[in-house]
A = this chain, B = another copy of it.
């Protein structure tokens, strides 16, 4: 079913490459556009939006918004499925996305499902907070 997801064009390749290069952080459409232009592979924003929509449907990218920004953020999501099995932590200070691979926490998902009847969608859920590095920096000045 997913073997023929459209033509292989250089625009699609360029967008996908950039997303994969930045799989540890999130990017906006304008950042994708700027990067591709600087790199020499000019791609219209329309095309970028259309590809992201498709990738979203296929579950290959994650989409969310960051406080204070009006534009959506996108992030490549490994097709091996690894990212749909653990929580994601987003630091409100530095913006980094951390992958929380932890047995203890995974069990909590089971607990919430069994005891509270709520099936968490790990693909969409992001835990916001402050990472240890940023907490240290703040501790210095406060």
Tell me the A residues contacting B by CB distance below 8 Å.
63-65, 67, 89, 91-92, 98, 100, 102, 104-105, 108, 111-112, 115-121, 124-132, 135
Contacts of A121 in B (CB 8 A): 92, 128-130
Give CA–CA (A121, B112) in the complex, Å.
19
In the complex, the answer to whether A124 meets B128 with C-beta atoms within 8 Å is yes
Give CA–CA (A112, B108) in the complex, Å.
12
Q: Dominant SS at the A interface? A: mixed
Q: List 5 A-B contacts (CB under 8 A).
A: A89-B118, A102-B115, A105-B111, A105-B112, A118-B130
In the complex, the answer to whether A129 meets B135 with C-beta atoms within 8 Å is no
Give CA–CA (A111, B112) in the complex, Å.
16
